Amino acid sequence: MESQMIVRIDSNIKDKFSKIVRMEGKSSSEKIREMIENYISQKDFAAVVDRVWNNISAEFKKREISEGDIENVIKKVRASKKR
């Protein structure tokens, strides 16, 4: 379900914004929705964590690192901390 959001901004900024987005072939509403969606995707903690894990997974695959390799490294680090 869509809903409205009312935002108050300076009229000069609104006019400039409207002109710029029209040059992109978009409406002000379309551009604001796009900007909000991008902001949320960048700031949403769950999305950030997912991106981090996906990046780590991709690196492991690229370097052919297995789960066993990771477990061995964790064991070594834990053992060194006990000393």
In a domain, 4, yes or no: no
Q: Give the 3-state secondary structure of residue 46.
A: helix
Rg of the chain taking only CA atoms, in angstroms = 23
Do 78 and 52 sit in the same domain of this protein? yes
Strands, DSSP E only, in 1-83?
none
CA–CA distance, 28 with 12 (Å, rounded to integer): 14
pTM, full prediction: 0.55
Nearest to 31 by CA among 40, 22, 44, 41: 22
Structural domain span for residue 28 = 11-43
For the segment 5-21, what is each residue's pLDDT rounded down to a tens digit? 999 999 999 999 999 99
In a domain, 16, yes or no: yes
What number of residues does the chain have? 83
CA–CA distance, 17 with 21 (Å, rounded to integer): 6
Do 50 and 78 sit in the same domain of this protein? yes
Do 17 and 38 sit in the same domain of this protein? yes
For the segment 19-56, what is each residue's pLDDT rounded down to a tens digit? 999 999 999 999 999 999 999 888 888 888 888 889 88
What is the number of structural domains in the chain?
2
